[in-house]
Structure 1
Amino acid sequence: MGSMTPEIRHGKVSLGDMTIAFREIGVPRGVPVVLLHAWGSTAGTWDDFAARMAARVRHVLALDLRGHGDSTWTGTYSLASMRDDVLGFLDHRGIDRVDLVGHSMGGAVAVLVAQRQPGRVRRLVVEDTPPPPETPPGEAIAPMAEPATPLPFDWRSFEPIITEMRTPDPGWWECLKAIRASTLLISGGPSSHVSPGALARMSGIIGDCRLVTVGEAGHRVHSLKLEEFWSVTAPFLCAEH
């Protein structure tokens, strides 16, 4: 795409005491694509994918979730608070409907958004997001030590978020039935720590859902296997119907 690649614009939205930073590319038109990163990452992880989407004449917004990048580091964290941040951001921008893409923790947040406001999400892409386990893990989460050098995220988010994602929640599975968006689940295959079997179970509960495996991608599918990720998601997100 070279010099024809649209410029990435940076912005912030204030939601009371919370500030959400975002990266934006493409001309606002139609249904935007909203991208949510994994724990410990930032919106910048989506730059290459976002540029490709913008070249397909899509408007793309990638968010720094709370505690990450240039969004507020609150010191208290939950997936539900991140869900509410995303919904608050959409309200502030006057966005009624979105195509939502989330990786790992971002995928968990995206699922909660699609459950809370089913009519707001047209298409949903969930990249290698682990659903809650059937039984508690055999060992407790080891606290993350305060880093010696600055990180692009709040290290204090580690314990609450990882603990929440590893805590069994039978009600979570039932709530999947509330999702009305056309949904694409992407598995990184056997080299990922996320169970393909658990993702298959998810795909069987969500009404309109397809599961695709990107072989030997591991957990970071869009980062390490961008061409394969693109070949799966572009037709899904850019279909006219």
Structure 2
Amino acid sequence: MQLYAGIHISDGKCVNPNKAHYLKNHIITSDPVKLALYWQEMGATYLHVVDLDAATMGYPVNGHIVRDIVNAVRIPIQYGGGIRTIKDIDAFLTMGVSRIIIGTQAILNPHFLKEALHIFGTERIVVGIDADNGMVAIEGRARISNFNSITLAQNVENIGVETIVYTDVLCATNMNGPDIENTKEMISRTHLNIIYSGGITSLNDLESLISCGADGAMIGTSLYTNKIRLDEAVMLCKRGGKGE
């Protein structure tokens, strides 16, 4: 299972997205590039970078920080946040980002998703699905759509998408473990590569995701709060579980 080390950017800083950073000033570091280099040093083989301001505002805000990260590290990066146009995608891929996560626009504008897949290919376009009580949250999770998460996953698969980042919003907020049951259902009802995010707090949680067949897992808050050591998590995922 591929592990993705998270970097969540707001106002040029790395923040904990599950701690109302904009109200409580939960800043992890004022230097996201330094954190990216640290994750790389700790064994990360893939970074998951999110521009939280862009996700809310609907256009890239901290692109210069993402560029600095790309220029600093040797490992691939998947980026999400505020992607609304083909020009946005092209700019980040040209910058050196390996994959782009499309969230809101994948739901509101299927034609845009089809066009992006046609131009850039399925390996470079990933759909982000944030599930809140089974329904898809959009616009930086500020609004709940009328789409069921599994139905949406099936729809984007039919369009040609191969990989999704599936986040359980309640698990991400409460940090009481991942939603294994719904992840299993997502896996069983689609043929997508599923990268799970939300509520992962221990190596045992990663074991559970490996066992249920997830293709990847993204951890952010548990790294920021030292609940999980990145080097140990990377080794576990490389082994495919403790028992292997």
Q: Give TM-score, length-normalised by structure 2.
A: 0.39
Which structure has more relative contact order (CA 8 Å, sep 6+)? It is 2
